[in-house]
Amino acid sequence: MRKLQSYGKEIAIGFVPVLFLFLLYVGFPPVILITGAIALLALFMLARSRGLAMGTAGKKTVARKPEFLTFEDIGGQDQPKKELMEALNFLVNRDKIQKLGIRPLKGILLTGPPGTGKTLLAKAAAHYTHSAFIAASGSEFVEMYVGVGAGRIRDLFKEARREAVKLKRDSAIVFIDEIDGIGGKRDGGQHREYDQTLNQLLTEMDGIQGDENIKVLLVAATNRKELLDPALLRPGRFDRHIQVDLPDKSGREHILKLHARNKPLFPEVSLAKVAEETFGFSGAQLESVMNEAAIYAMRDDSEMLSAYHLTQAIDKVMMGERMDRETTKEERERVAIHELGHAIVAESVRPNSVAQVSLTPRGQALGYVRHNPQQDRYLYTQAILEEQIMIALGGCVAEELIYGGRSTGSRGDFEQATNIVRTLIESGMSSLGIIHPQALTQEQWSKENAAILNDLLDRTRAMLGKHINTFKFMLSILIKEETLSGQQLREHLQQTAA
């Protein structure tokens, strides 16, 4: 296609002068010919300037229209939906807000972790307000040539107004995903292209240019709000900052039900139980769980999704794909002891918290323990954090008790433990009391970190020392079966305790 366009340009360049000379030869008025030549040249320069404004490679900011989506199709975000709908009502009920003297909103910023549904909320907002909808990404605006990004911003808002007129609507929503790509803080450097792009966006939001009869609302999304320029975040531009967090248990169950609508499930499948086992999952991860479960069902030639398929899907999304790694008998035994150490400590400090112990290699892990939190938790006490550290240390302590030494498999556990120790110190839960982290020297950090970890190591050692017989009893079962359910683990612990 590019070759054809190149050939067409060459033919036009060669043909036009010949045609001009021929018409002049046959007696066509020179004034008309010159006027026509000037008009053609002007059209050519205009087309070329537009092409440059859209990008050096003919790249154009695509006006993407939304699929049919309503707020009822989005699960797990009741509070963000409520806040967003309240803000959108200012756009819908114009007469009412004019009577009360309310200034129309210029922008809504959606912030939160990736995969929580920020883009879906923007699409549903367009349907809710019956507005024209234009979507773009922050990376589409910045180029190495100064002025290209600013031109694309102008074109984006013009296209939104044209789309609104075309659809006979009086409002338009412009959605910019990953707005930190163009709205980052200005540092006073020589990045003129970034500054001009951001300045043009600020100008469009202020409504200095454009048809005031068409109300344009900018909805933007980012997971790095702290990187945005203060000029963007001030009132009068982004008037609403809506936090879109990870869903809670009831929200996760709602999302799972939405994605299970087109998937046949066995009657015994409990999506509420799946929601319990997916603490910390985003909406995108929950959709992936249902999709992976359907893939596992297809592999097994099953016409319906079972609880086993969902369990496998959770493990895959959480840990990665199952790996076909060949391990020695000694390595398998050490991994089994390590994971049993985690599981036994977890059951000792938090009864009924273990969902499964597995020796199946996934991702970078040779084995893992999947925990089943009782409830979503957002505040942590000192006791809870210390219990979490003991669970992390359970693997290396188990190796010490059985083999007399540790292995490199504990490296990730130590990293997790030291991060929790840092949280303890910064939260004023250590012997140092309430202190600013920057006021501590490296020596003080190391001393306090070692004191906390050594104390918890001793407590973990004493706890696991009471279960030596349990290790020997369950080791052969775990190696033979490769997996041990939480219920089986609790039954074995009760038997050996008796």
- Please write the tens of the pLDDT for every residue from 304-344: 999 999 988 988 888 777 766 667 778 888 888 999 999 99
Tokens of 147: 């002025």
> What local confidence, expressed as pLDDT, does residue 43 receive?
58
The whole model's pTM is what? Answer: 0.68
The confidence score (pLDDT) of residue 87 equals 84
CA distance 25 to 33: 12
User: For residue 53, is pLDDT > 50?
Assistant: no
Q: Which fold has domain 249-319?
A: Helicase, Ruva Protein; domain 3 (1.10.8)
Question: CB within 8 A of 300, min separation 6: which ones?
Answer: 309
Into which CATH architecture does domain 71-243 fall? Answer: 3-Layer(aba) Sandwich (3.40)
Tokens 């995903």 belong to residue: 177
Q: How does pLDDT run across 123-150, given as a tens digit for each residue?
A: 888 888 888 888 888 777 766 555 677 7
Average pLDDT, the chain: 80
Check if 491 is active-site.
Answer: no
Which residues lie below 8 Å from residue 123, measured CB to CB, with a gap of 6+?
66, 67, 69, 133, 135, 175
**Identity at 263, one-letter amino acid code:** K
Shared fold status for 249-319 and 329-497: no
Q: Is the pLDDT of residue 375 over 70?
A: no
pLDDT of 111 > 50? The answer is yes
Q: Considering 339, 347, 399, 400, which one is annotated as catalytic? A: 339
Burial class of residue 182 in the structure, from the number of CB atoms within 10 Å of its CB (0-12 exposed, 13-18 middle, 19+ buried): buried
Whole-angstrom Cα distance, residue 401 to residue 454?
Answer: 16
Residue 7 confidence (pLDDT): 45
Share of the chain above pLDDT 70, in %: 79
pLDDT at 422: 93
Asked if residue 210 has pLDDT above 70, the reply is: no
375-414: burial string, b at 16+ Cβ within 10 Å, e else: ebeeebeeeebbbbbbbbbbbbbbbbbbeeebeebbeebe
Distance CA 39, CA 200 (A): 31
Q: Quick one: how far is CA 132 from the chain centroid?
A: 26
Nearest to residue 346, comparing CAs of 140, 484, 199, 153? 484
Q: Where are the domains of the chain?
A: 2-54, 71-243, 249-319, 329-497
Six-digit token string for 252: 């996760």
Strand partners, 219: 108, 175
Domain at 329-497: CATH code = 1.20.58.760
pLDDT bucket at 356, cuts 50 / 70 / 90: confident
Query: Does the structure show a pLDDT above 90 at 298?
Result: yes
pLDDT value of residue 342 = 92
